[in-house]
Amino acid sequence: MTRLKVDPTPIAKISADAIIVFIFENEKDDSRYKAIDKKLGGRISSLLKNKKFSGKKLESRVIDSFGKLQTEAVVLVGLGKKSNFSSEVLRQAAAKAASSAASAGAETVALSIEGLSDIPVEELAQSAAEGVILSQYRFTQYRKKGNSAKKGIVKGIFSQLKDAVKVRKAVLTAEKICRGVELARNLQNQPGNVATPSWIARQACTNLRKVGIKCRVLGKREILKLKMGSFWSVAKGSAQEPKFLIMEYMKGPKSQKPVVLVGKGVTFDTGGISIKPSAGMDQMKFDMSGGAAVIGTFYTAGLLKLKKNIAGLVPLTENMPGGKASKPGDIVTASDGQTIEVLNTDAEGRLILADALVYAKKYKPSKVIDLATLTGAIMVALGRHTTGLFSNNQKLAEAVLESGFSTGERCWQFPLWEEYEELIKSKVADVQNIGGRWAGSITAAAFLKQFTDYPWVHLDIAGTADNEKPITPYNAPGGTGIGVRLLIDFLRRNR
């Protein structure tokens, strides 16, 4: 992972392979990069004057320093219109610039955020740092042939003359957050034959115990003893034993009720008896992305030593069409006694989450947030840019929405009115696991709601958990680690 440092040296005097220069669209004030431009003989101002570089959002250009600076190249990157500037714009711009520098062969970059905006310097520093680090992530574990010899950006230097202490603290925070994102991405990107329920539980506990997180893993016997019939109905079709991962981090006041985070952990989803089409089924290794996000969040919480009480639950299983698999029309019983008519075995995520949401009640939580790659319908509604949010508590929903916009992991709230619950009423059981053709994401959330009695938010990350082509410059193909930065921001802001 890229390492960062803060240096009080002026940006024009820092030694690095490349210097990043942020420029607003049609910017008139060149004071931020005047010293660099002067050493380059006015090259930057000439490019702007001749409209060969405009500063449009994420526009980039690499120019040679010709030995006039202690760097081989200068990377210009556009921030767009100043009126539209935000920490997310900076996060993306820093990522784009770092990638451009890496493509030009740079291994070290220098940048400065001084004078960019009235946004608190800590927020700007953290955003820029996240952009640089996350943009360099690549999953290459299984590529033994044809790997690029380029290392990417291994070191980033923040030139900071003022507020260096604040910037240093923010950069360190960003590094710790990105380590949690990296862990989540690494878990997501593993193939299904490696990332079995047992393997993920083992990896999670190995990493989390190093940062002070307590872990327990329940197996088949304990799952059945707890009468988690909804979870077991999915797991029993697989030769792989299911696991129920429990994480606890209780570093807050004893009087503080914990926040419980729940993540869907289907390590591979064939659809079960209601089997999926073969085209694209390989992507179903990402069906454990909610669980990966929760694990990554706990890892960062431990690194940051948050003074919070947090519990995490990840039901882990495959969904396979084995001889013991559930059949459409089966009726199963969740651990709270509710009966469920299983009309489609490919609506399995809500079945395993049901028992996890019931288990969450043991903690008498102040609030519960679950993350799940739950429905294809959410992608029809929102595409791959936005996470769907559903809640039974508006104050909690708004707090999560705020963290989503702050971190760039944006969410959009959907209704969860009682009328939708009519669509999941069964004629032969308490509830059925699908609601028909319409409002698929909402009826899935309405199903989950039946197992809650606390303030709760459900995040449907089916569209945002992975990408074939990066949606933002700080994502790579594959798992995005979505949810880690949002949840950490939420935990830091809220009791």
Residue positions annotated with a catalytic role: 276, 350
Take residue 114 and report the two structure tokens written for it.
């001084």
What single string gives the DSSP state of each residue in 267-285?
A: EEE--TTSPPPSTTGGGGG
Q: Which amino acid is at 479?
A: G
Do residues 390 and 458 touch, judged by C-beta distance below 8 A?
yes
**8 A C-beta contact, residue 368 and residue 259:** yes
List Cα–Cα distances, 393 to 154, 166, 359, in angstroms: 43, 35, 20
DSSP 227: T
Written as six digits, the tokens of 113 are 């955020």
Please, which residues bridge with residue 314 across strands? 245
Smallest CA-to-CA distance from 17 within 107, 103, 97 is with: 107
CA pair distance 477, 480, nearest whole angstrom = 8
- The SS3 of residue 447 is helix
Q: Which residue has the tokens 């459409």?
A: 328
* Nearest C-alpha neighbor of 283 from the set 371, 352, 145, 384: 384
List the one residue out of 422, 404, 423 whose CA is nearest residue 413.
404
Residue 63 to residue 41: CA distance in whole angstroms:
13
> CB 31: neighbour CB atoms within 10 A?
8
| 3-class DSSP state of 399 | helix
Give dist(CA 17, CA 64) in Å, integer. Answer: 11
- For the chain, first and last CA: distance in Å? 31
